[in-house]
Amino acid sequence: MTTKRVAVVTGGNKGIGFAIVRALCKQFDGDVYLTARDAGRGQNAVKELEGEGLKPKFHLLDYTDRKSVDTLKEYLVQNYGGIDVFVHNAAIAFKVQDPTPFAKQATMSIATNYTCTVELGNAILPAMKANGRISIVASQGGTMSLSKCSSEVQAFFKSPDITEEQMSKKLQEFVKAAQDGSHQKEGFSNSAYGMSKLGVIVYTRLLAKAAAKLDRANVLVNCCCPGYVSTDMSSYKGTLTPDQGAITPTMLAMIPPSDSAPNGEFLYQKKILKWC
């Protein structure tokens, strides 16, 4: 087992994830793993960064597959004794003009962006080392969706006492309502992506609370909005470059061991957004 520190980035083969890997290779004192669900694309991304003089490593990861998650976790525990930095960037988003029925968009967005993120976070957390950092890429689409929900639904998501079980049940209520077209009548927003990212923002607070109960010190969990970045997800209409979008998630990954904040927060442009 090596004594090196280790950082991992999900969805690292392109866009913001690729830029985060690049930034960590320059700033992080240890091994940086670029992960992707497609081995060929992931290895090609590694070669591209090697061409820049950087030295990322590659590991296959499909974060929607629990077996794949467990395989990565076991590898990191066996070879590094755990995880120092984990950046979860991977997600899906339907284009504005996508003809996919909203019911299916809601089902897939909640399952992939929220449920699989929860399962990933819960699986990874026990493997975090002391002073570990978890940085999750969320979106202001989540807080925008919250503002478009009914006052009752807003109060639910803003509650400091909300549990993971309650939130998961509420988001499944959104999916069910979307399937019969009553989601707005039931007080939810009309954005499948936004509702899924709202779930991620709230889950970040819950994961931070769980981290505080670990038998190791100062594991911090935060999420952020990278901004409107020019990637395939935004159809390259964003105003920021991927490297600019990587700034805040990388900052959260690099919070010094001597610091105990921010924790459980949602940030944009390196500043905490008070959304509840």
Report the catalytic residues.
193
CB 69 within 8 A of CB 63: yes
CB 246 within 8 A of CB 22: yes
Three-class secondary structure assignment of 143-183: HHHHHCCCHHHHHHHHCCCCCHHHHHHHHHHHHHHHHCCCC
Question: What are the φ/ψ torsions at residue 71 (nearest 5 degrees)?
Answer: -65, -45
Cα separation, 64 vs 36, in Å, equals 11
What single DSSP character describes residue 82? S
Nearest alpha-carbon partner for 128 in 69, 78, 67, 86: 86
Nearest alpha-carbon partner for 193 in 93, 91, 88: 93
44-64 CB burial, b ≥16 within 10 A, e <16:
ebbeebeeeebebebbbbbbb
CA dihedral 66→254→241→273, nearest 10 degrees, is 90
124: which 2 tokens?
């990874």
Q: How big is the chain, counted in residues?
A: 276
The dihedral sign for the CA sequence 263, 266, 271, 272? negative
